[in-house]
Each structure stands twice: as structure tokens, then as C-alpha cells.
Amino acid sequence: MIKIYIDADACPVKEETYKVAARYGLHSFVISNNFMQIPASPLITRVIVAAGADVADDWIVEHVAAGDVVVTSDIPLASRVLAKEAHAIAPYGRAFTNDSIGLALAQRSLMEHIRSTGETTGGPPPFSTANRSRFLQALDQAIAREKRKRSLAESRSP
């Protein structure tokens, strides 16, 4: 069964993810470094990991399997998830792919370098309704695509 993992500490689309997961009957894991309120549902599990760099990311990578979906804006985590043949979707609706992750990592590295020189680069634009809509579409597409893929594989097995 497909599982959804939410890199939750700064995720603005948790509620949307819960709704989509419930519609498909999928289990969601909400991973964070701090206590976070979640809906009472047997399909949602809260996971609180120790504080520290990449602790939540490491937990997700350890548990994610091929075909699962990870909601994250963390590009290095998305790269690790793709390496495990899972789906990675940013909250603003970008589905990371094997074709796009290299450029995303390079842009991230370039921006880190620019910031390290003292340059002020500004932050991301405010999260919008359009971002939320793109996210919902990308999440629904990833789940539907994975369900079709699994259904096809099952129909081909003897």
C-alpha cells in the first residue's frame, strides 16, 4: 500500500494532504522535531524525532519505500527519496523527478554560495492559493499514477 510521509515542521499543506490521503484510504506519517497537533484518525501517525540536522529526513528515508509519496520542500531530501524510487512533491506543487532534481540541487547550491558571500537574496514568495491548488493536483496525480502502476503490475503477475 502507498504511504504518504510529510516533512511537517514547516509544511503549509498538511491539512490538504490528510484529506487526499483519506480519500484514497492511505496512511500518512507526520514527521517533525516537535509535537504537532494532528487529526484523530487511524490513518494518520505522528512521529516526533530528536532535534538535529537531517534527523527527520533520515527517518523518512529509512522508512520510505518505492512508490510512496513524500511531501517536502527540502531538495536534498527529495533527491534521497527519488533514489529510493518514491515520489517527492513540494508544498507549492512541484513534483521532483529524476530529470529535474540535478538542476534543483545545483540551484540550491548556487543560492547557498551567494548567501555565504553576504548577498541578500530575499526569501520565497508568500504561499498562495494557486500554490495550494498545484500541490493538490500534483499529489493526486502521483497517487493515481502509482495506483495505476501497481494495478498494472498485479494484472501482469501470474
Confidence band for 125, pLDDT divided at 50, 70 and 90: confident
| End-to-end Cα, the chain, rounded Å | 20
Cell numbers given for 85: 524510487
> What tens digit of pLDDT does each residue of 28-77 get?
999 999 999 999 999 999 999 999 889 999 999 999 999 999 999 888 99
Share of the chain above pLDDT 70, in %: 87
- Assess contact for 109 and 92: CB atoms under 8 A: no
Structural domains in the chain, CATH included, are 3-156 (3.40.50)
CA distance 127 to 134: 11
- Assess contact for 22 and 41: CB atoms under 8 A: yes
Question: Which residue pairs from 40-49 have beta carbons closer than 8 angstroms and sit at least 24 positions apart in sequence?
Answer: 44/18
